[in-house]
Homo-oligomer: A and B are copies of this chain.
Amino acid sequence: MPVMTRSPRRPSARTVRPARPRSANKTRYVYFFGNGKADGRGHQRTLLGGKGAGLAEMTLIGLPVPAGFTISTQACAEYYERDKSWPPGLERQVREQLARLEKTSGKRLGDHDDPLLVSVRSGAARSMPGMMETILNLGLTDRSVEGLAAVTHNPRFAWDSYRRFIQMFSTVVTGLSKDVLEGKLHDLKHRLGVAADTDIPADALRELCAEFKAFYREQTGEEFPQDPWRQLVAAVDAVFNSWMAEKAVTYRKVEKITGLAGTAVNVVQMVYGNMGDDSGTGVAFTRDPSTGENQFYGDMLINAQGEDVVAGIRTPLKLSQLADLMPDVWDQLLGVRVMLETHYKEMQDLEFTIERGRLYMLQCRTGKRTPTAAFRIAVEQATQPLLTRAEATRLVKKKCLPARYLAAATRPVLTKDEAILRMSSTDIERLFYPIIDPSVPASDLAARRIAEGINAVPGAACGEIVFTAAEAETLAAAGKSVILVRKETSPEDVGGMHAAAGILTATGGKTSHAAVVARGWGKCCIVGCDALQIDYGGRRMSANGRELRQGEELTLDGSAGVAYSGRLPLVQPESPPEFQTLMSWVDQRRRLRVRTNADTPYDAEAAVRMGAEGIGLCRTEHMFFDTEERRLAMQRMILADATDARRAALDALLPFQRKDFIGIFEAMAGRPVTIRLIDPPLHEFVPHDEDGQRKLAGRLGISDEKIRQRVSQLHESNPMLGHRGCRLCLTFPEILEMQVRAIMEAAADCAQRGIAVAPEIMIPLCIDRKELGILIDNARRVAEAALGKAGLRGNGPRGRSTGRSGSNGVRYLVGTMIETPRAALLADQIAEVAEFFSFGTNDMTQMVMALSRDDAGRFLPDYVDHDKAGIFADDPFQTLDQEGVGLLMRWAIEKGRKTRRDLKIGICGEHGGEAESVKFCHRLGIDYVSCSPFRVPIARLAAAQAAIADKSTRRRK
């Protein structure tokens, strides 16, 4: 039997005019679909919900969809605005569309002989599975059930349908106890000695219906409603009300679903998959959602209704078995598959019902897939056709596929550009991080859930709980997997953080120390876990009334930001060859270069494998924490009373830094390496607890008192705005001298061994041309001296360089981070002395918005919470504030390039790895972004997407 019952109409903007409210009382609330026509369209998810939009669209492209209508989400919103009453006009519109449905179906709601039965389902713009309500078989009454029995010749089916309806209506609409009704059903089966519902005979079901109705009367003091219109109104109200039911509100909160007006209500003519062996129901994906393979994939049940598939009571058949069981329906489905995927250009997840050999489509939406599948699907959609020509021709001949789909079915669905645009950051992220095995039952997860925090770094990790960085290092060295749990972290903890499998902190946001450092390593990290109480002394933590002690096991889901007790199984997705294919297309298209933030040769190598084209930010201070020896030298430097003692301590650090730089230069093999001189305030390098201070005093052979005094002297009210960045090098020029010497001696060492090097010395936190000029002059002087000593040519004291090393020289750049508003405002002056700019957008965001990233957790959610104020669309530490910070960047770029036409401009804030921000950087004309190694592919993808968007903008012009 052909799929199309009538000549299909292609949807067209001209013929299908979307209803627009013109004035309040003319607002259109109800959208009809059926018989190839639909008032709504597929893109109207916000107004019609995902389900309603899908039904309208499927109807329009000629798929067999049962007729019905959708009550818009706007109606729901106004229902709440009007204190739970229907907005004026809604009742009239529902009655009108119900009449249209009756006309289309040829049946009437409540008709005694052949009643129209409908389902009433919720459907929000975003999927909230199981969270809201559904009523099936609405329209059945004591009299129409008899008609249904007669017209279907199936009293058992009719009474079972009535029984289900009464049960759903009683519980969902009226709120009666589910358990009591289920108990009565259970008792009945017990009395009859049957196991399955389907084995209960019609008479027994009729009696059960009576029993249910008596219970209804008893509980409500009213008869079970026999007026189908009253049934419908009550069901719609129930769906509306389910939107604000506690479980739905909680779900939206947990899933961070915001900005939705309400739920739509879909009223659809019932079709039945449980009318015999020529009936059935199933779910399918147009491609294999696990592997991405180009094959029709799904499950189905014969003689069953949709909820039976979901409930998992019977073992479903493989969809492909339908080819043998119902070959015609199978071919129809094959046609549907082609139509859906070529129409939506995306792998679809669909639901269908077969009623007495006739196929009905009940739902379609873009299907969820594994990370591996995502890339395979995109690449295959862009390179291979969905069907062979032979198969496509066969389906057309069999009228299971309209002839006009022949071409689409036998060529790639997407262009390569479209395939690139299809992919998201999440697709890439999911490919690189281990995840909790999806087969772990939800109930298990729920039982183990301890607390939620901010999902700072995706991936999952499990291990023993430790509360100090030192213990993390010790246990990790002994081969244990540990989770480091801290109130917050500081640079002192870096060793332990690196040793840990995952990090959980009670405070901080996505750009807190813990988050930034962990992200650099791609290490699972949850921060800002408010509920967490840590008792360092007692070596225990508690959250939401549960306590865990050191050594107990913890699993972190960094992608969701949830901590679970115990050790959950993790799986690591496989990176498919299609990932490399897609990234090669990406690299062909992007203009923006992508560098990485890396502080070690190890990170540098990892980043190159991820496609990094250089290092945009090498934070030298992390090197000071690598070993006890380095830490001590650094601390000795900080505690030095006089320049000489400071110099001596710095001299001890120099060989370490030089060695690290050599390793990094080797790993980067001639790619540019931007090295930032010391940035954090010195207090971050010294212990703040008495114990640590006492130990340090012992190691350095000075008094506790002196250390205490120095630490207290280093204390700052607002360290973010304090003595840090290049201010340190102005106060202690010897620090700059040591660092530049280490960099250039390393460069010279490599150059002498024939390894190309392109160092870029970056001076952080400048605010003034004169200030920066002094430091850049110092840096050049030291650099030239170091190269000269090695017998190499440099740039000359004021030489302009190209950033590439010559045959017997080392070319280097000296530039600055633009992270203070003043540096950006006066960029024209700054560019007089700086050869490059690198936007430090983390700090710039802090200063432009007066937002401390460590403290903003307390109130920033109020700004990004759409249900409250909705001031910002996104966390500005995650997605660049294009309007404010972006304006200042645009200004700085313009002013900077006016002074120095070839000014190299990059961005090394956390935003450099966030897709929207990367696209913005592309539009600003920045030369490169830099981000943590694991985000490099994300940045590459976003850069390509921005370049493609440019092309299409130009085309439109």
Contact B768 A855 (CB under 8 A): no
A903 contacts B by Cβ under 8 Å? no
Which A737-783 residues sit within 8 Å CB-CB of chain B? 765, 767-768, 770-771, 774
Contact A721 B852 (CB under 8 A): yes
Contact B848 A822 (CB under 8 A): yes
Contact B821 A871 (CB under 8 A): no
In whole angstroms, what is the CA distance A533 to B852 when docked?
A: 31
Kindly identify which residue among B820, B852, B869 contacts A718, using a CB–CB cutoff of 8 Å.
B852
A443 contacts B by Cβ under 8 Å? no
In whole angstroms, what is the CA distance A719 to B717 when docked?
A: 8
Q: A767-B884, A821-B821, A887-B826 are in contact. Are A721 and B871 (CB under 8 A)?
A: no
Q: A826-B883, A862-B730 are in contact. Are A721 and B723 (CB under 8 A)?
A: no
In whole angstroms, what is the CA distance A96 to B765 when docked?
A: 54
Q: A768-B871, A825-B887, A884-B825 are in contact. Are A850 and B719 (CB under 8 A)?
A: no
A89 contacts B by Cβ under 8 Å? no
In whole angstroms, what is the CA distance A213 to B698 when docked?
A: 62
In the complex, what residues of B have CB within 8 A of residue A727's CB? 859, 862
Contact A718 B854 (CB under 8 A): yes
In the complex, what residues of B have CB within 8 A of residue A851's CB? 721, 767
Shortest distance between the CB of A909 and any CB in chain B (Å): 15
Shortest distance between the CB of A925 and any CB in chain B (Å): 19
Contact B717 A855 (CB under 8 A): yes
Which A767-813 residues sit within 8 Å CB-CB of chain B? 767-768, 770-771, 774
A181 contacts B by Cβ under 8 Å? no
Shortest distance between the CB of A265 and any CB in chain B (Å): 32
Instruction: With CB as the reference atom, state the residue of chain B lying closest to A715.
Output: B855
Shortest distance between the CB of A709 and any CB in chain B (Å): 10
Contact A888 B821 (CB under 8 A): yes
Contact A850 B765 (CB under 8 A): yes
A867 contacts B by Cβ under 8 Å? no
Shortest distance between the CB of A646 and any CB in chain B (Å): 16
Instruction: With CB as the reference atom, state the residue of chain B lying closest to A768.
Output: B871
In whole angstroms, what is the CA distance A848 to B863 when docked?
A: 23
Instruction: With CB as the reference atom, state the residue of chain B lying closest to A886.
Output: B825
Contact A825 B848 (CB under 8 A): yes
In whole angstroms, what is the CA distance A765 to B847 when docked?
A: 12
A731 contacts B by Cβ under 8 Å? yes
A143 contacts B by Cβ under 8 Å? no
Q: A723-B858, A826-B884, A883-B826 are in contact. Are A850 and B771 (CB under 8 A)?
A: no
Contact B774 A723 (CB under 8 A): no
Kindly identify which residue among B720, B731, B820 contacts A721, using a CB–CB cutoff of 8 Å.
B720
- The 8 A CB mask of A820-849 against B (1 = contact, 0 = none) is 111001100000000000000001001111
A437 contacts B by Cβ under 8 Å? no
A872 contacts B by Cβ under 8 Å? yes
Instruction: With CB as the reference atom, state the residue of chain B lying closest to A857.
Output: B723
Contact A771 B863 (CB under 8 A): yes
Contact A731 B859 (CB under 8 A): yes
In the complex, what residues of B have CB within 8 A of residue A88's CB? none
A716 contacts B by Cβ under 8 Å? yes
A327 contacts B by Cβ under 8 Å? no
In whole angstroms, what is the CA distance A719 to B871 when docked?
A: 22
Contact B847 A888 (CB under 8 A): no
Contact A871 B722 (CB under 8 A): no
* Chain copies in the assembled complex: 2
Q: A859-B723, A859-B731, A884-B825 are in contact. Are A848 and B871 (CB under 8 A)?
A: no
Contact A888 B846 (CB under 8 A): no
Residue of A718, A727, A767, A843 most packed against chain B (CB within 10 A): A718
In the complex, what residues of B have CB within 8 A of residue A847's CB? 721, 821, 847-848, 850
In the complex, what residues of B have CB within 8 A of residue A731's CB? 858-859, 862
In the complex, what residues of B have CB within 8 A of residue A692's CB? none
A870 contacts B by Cβ under 8 Å? yes
In whole angstroms, what is the CA distance A723 to B863 when docked?
A: 12
In the complex, what residues of B have CB within 8 A of residue A721's CB? 718, 720-721, 846-847, 850-852, 855-856
Contact B820 A850 (CB under 8 A): yes
Shortest distance between the CB of A867 and any CB in chain B (Å): 14
Contact B884 A852 (CB under 8 A): no
Contact A821 B843 (CB under 8 A): no
Contact A872 B720 (CB under 8 A): no
Shortest distance between the CB of A495 and any CB in chain B (Å): 22
In the complex, what residues of B have CB within 8 A of residue A852's CB? 716-722
In the complex, what residues of B have CB within 8 A of residue A826's CB? 883-884, 887
Instruction: With CB as the reference atom, state the residue of chain B lying closest to A845.
Output: B822
In whole angstroms, what is the CA distance A859 to B885 when docked?
A: 27
Contact B723 A770 (CB under 8 A): no
In the complex, what residues of B have CB within 8 A of residue A822's CB? 848-850, 881, 884-885
Contact B767 A854 (CB under 8 A): no
Instruction: With CB as the reference atom, state the residue of chain B lying closest to A863.
Output: B771
In whole angstroms, what is the CA distance A721 to B860 when docked?
A: 12
In the complex, what residues of B have CB within 8 A of residue A884's CB? 767-768, 821-822, 825-826
In whole angstroms, what is the CA distance A872 to B767 when docked?
A: 11
Shortest distance between the CB of A335 and any CB in chain B (Å): 49
Contact B855 A719 (CB under 8 A): yes
In whole angstroms, what is the CA distance A859 to B869 when docked?
A: 40
In whole angstroms, what is the CA distance A822 to B845 when docked?
A: 9
Shortest distance between the CB of A459 and any CB in chain B (Å): 27
Shortest distance between the CB of A92 and any CB in chain B (Å): 34
In whole angstroms, what is the CA distance A493 to B676 when docked?
A: 42
Shortest distance between the CB of A907 and any CB in chain B (Å): 18
Contact A821 B848 (CB under 8 A): yes
In whole angstroms, what is the CA distance A723 to B857 when docked?
A: 9
Shortest distance between the CB of A378 and any CB in chain B (Å): 37
Which A188-215 residues sit within 8 Å CB-CB of chain B? none
Shortest distance between the CB of A677 and any CB in chain B (Å): 16
In the complex, what residues of B have CB within 8 A of residue A720's CB? 717-718, 720-721, 850, 852
In whole angstroms, what is the CA distance A765 to B849 when docked?
A: 9
Which A886-903 residues sit within 8 Å CB-CB of chain B? 887-888
In whole angstroms, what is the CA distance A870 to B859 when docked?
A: 40
In the complex, what residues of B have CB within 8 A of residue A730's CB? 859, 862-863, 869
Contact A850 B855 (CB under 8 A): no
Instruction: With CB as the reference atom, state the residue of chain B lying closest to A846.
Output: B721
Shortest distance between the CB of A629 and any CB in chain B (Å): 29
Contact A869 B771 (CB under 8 A): yes
Which A704-735 residues sit within 8 Å CB-CB of chain B? 716-723, 725, 727, 730-731
Instruction: With CB as the reference atom, state the residue of chain B lying closest to A772.
Output: B871
Residue of A717, A727, A765, A774 most packed against chain B (CB within 10 A): A717
Instruction: With CB as the reference atom, state the residue of chain B lying closest to A869.
Output: B774
Shortest distance between the CB of A777 and any CB in chain B (Å): 11
In whole angstroms, what is the CA distance A851 to B719 when docked?
A: 9
Kindly identify which residue among B770, B820, B849 contacts A848, using a CB–CB cutoff of 8 Å.
B820
Contact B855 A723 (CB under 8 A): yes
In whole angstroms, what is the CA distance A846 to B881 when docked?
A: 20
In whole angstroms, what is the CA distance A924 to B820 when docked?
A: 23
In the complex, what residues of B have CB within 8 A of residue A767's CB? 849-851, 884
In the complex, what residues of B have CB within 8 A of residue A887's CB? 825-826
In whole angstroms, what is the CA distance A719 to B850 when docked?
A: 10
Contact B821 A855 (CB under 8 A): no
In the complex, what residues of B have CB within 8 A of residue A765's CB? 850
Residue of A725, A770, A850, A858 most packed against chain B (CB within 10 A): A850
A-B contact pairs, 30 of them (CB 8 A): A717-B719, A718-B718, A718-B720, A718-B721, A718-B852, A718-B855, A719-B852, A720-B850, A721-B846, A721-B851, A721-B852, A722-B852, A722-B856, A723-B858, A723-B859, A727-B859, A730-B863, A731-B862, A767-B849, A767-B851, A770-B870, A771-B863, A820-B849, A820-B850, A821-B888, A822-B848, A822-B884, A825-B888, A826-B883, A826-B884
**A-B contacts besides A770-B870, A843-B850, 11 pairs, CB < 8 Å:** A717-B719, A721-B846, A723-B859, A730-B859, A731-B859, A774-B869, A821-B884, A821-B888, A822-B884, A825-B848, A826-B884
Please provide the 4 A-B residue pairs with the shortest distance between their CB atoms, ordered closest to farther. A721-B852, A718-B852, A822-B884, A717-B854
